[in-house]
Structure 1
């Protein structure tokens, strides 16, 4: 439990998955050896959590379950915190998408709300799904220290909500590299619930595909 009764939630994006850079979305690849190294590097021996929550996808769940076993922590799998589906783009590189779909990728990055990939998940529905899982997490573990192992898109939806960033700018407003960590503090007061971003710390300097 946190020292002052606040809920502290550390978000960490998974490391590099096997198969190299691509639009992965629902494609369920495990972490590569580099990805495992990135995740271990991102965790400090000074970290203290009460529970670990994870996306069901292997690139998150594998590390979460390993870390839970290492530290004797419960691990909860929350399906609503899986990555956005990229539809027909899944398994394709940016170059593949540009070759097949012209400037659709450029338009997606500029405004993902108005430019859903063919067969993909509409961003407003994705945001609603993720924020439902986020609300559930906060209600289930009030006053706890939580590690959430998840995805770049999931982190973008949560930070956009906390910071008041429009969904149309949620994919271009900030970078979420592999193994990037963000900390959010949630205070419940007589005047309502207040959430604040305390830190956003990339392990690497360049953003990567999700």
Structure 2
């Protein structure tokens, strides 16, 4: 008898607006603003198709994930490897501030992030290793489930890049909105994985 394939569904939810506005926040642990809480609550509304919730350890993700898990009595797992990329000396600073200091340095990072890592920052290769490692572990440990993963723009870009087999240098071309939702399905059969992007920046139905 042929072995059946197993389908795992993962919804990726970016956090809402944090306190402090738009900046290279990285691993600074700013909480959600009042608007950020509202954005995330509106994004999921009363939907609950998930078997469990997995979240970054940073509070702009974890605090909402905990509230949602408690509301629906879902298992909650905290995964530090899903934390945002570390921006080193750029953390806490806006693009406008960095451009005023050295416009070309920021443009070099945008155009070639592999070879223009910010001072003291995590490299894209390091970020790739930890995020994709966490991703593959989740797929193995929770095969056949429907997961909600609450995380960051960089984390979601990295997972999408991995799933779509994009060049690492192109990941920042992907736009990920605050409280935006991305759905990926992974069909596994006899050790092979077939991932599919179902929607990006869409809505739950």
TM band (smaller chain): over 0.9
CA deviation vs aligned residue, 1:110-149 (integer Å, no higher than 9, x gap): 1211110111000011011100000111111010010000
Matched, 1:195 2:191: no
Give the Å deviation of 1:190.
Answer: 2.5
Provide the C-alpha distance between the structure 1 equivalents of 2:47 and 2:35, rounded to a whole number of angstroms. 23
Secondary structure in 2 matching 1:102: helix
Aligned to 1:56: 57
2:188 & 2:96 partners in 1: Cα distance? Answer: 46
SS of corresponding position for 2:11: strand
Aligned residue pairs total 199
Aligned to 2:29: 28
Structure 1 residue ranges (4+ consecutive) displaced by more than 4 angstroms after TM superposition: none
CA distance in 2, matches of 1:111, 1:180: 26
Question: In 2, Cα distance between the equivalents of 1:49 and 1:16?
Answer: 23
Give, in whole Å, the separation in 1 of the partners of 2:76 and 2:102: 40
1:194 counterpart SS class: strand
How many angstroms apart in 1 are the aligned matches of 2:36 and 2:19? 8
TM-score, scaled to structure 2: 0.93
Ranges in structure 2 where 5+ consecutive residues have no aligned partner: none
Aligned to 1:130: 131
Query: TM-score w.r.t. structure 1 length?
Result: 0.91
Distance 1:39 1:68 in 2: 13
The within-5 A match list for 1:5-154 is: 5-154=6-155
For the residues of structure 2 that align with 1:120 and 1:191, how far apart are their CA atoms? 36
Of the structure 1 ranges 38-47 and 120-129, higher mean CA displacement relative to structure 2 is found in: 38-47
Q: Distance in 1 between matches of 2:112 and 2:15?
A: 24
Task: Specify the SS of the correspondent of 2:172.
Answer: coil
Structure 1: distance between partners of 2:7 and 2:25: 34
Q: Rate the CA distance shift 1:105–1:202 in 2: closer, same or farther, 3 A.
A: farther
Residue 13 of structure 2 contacts residue 148 of structure 2 at CA under 8 Å; is this kept in 1?
yes
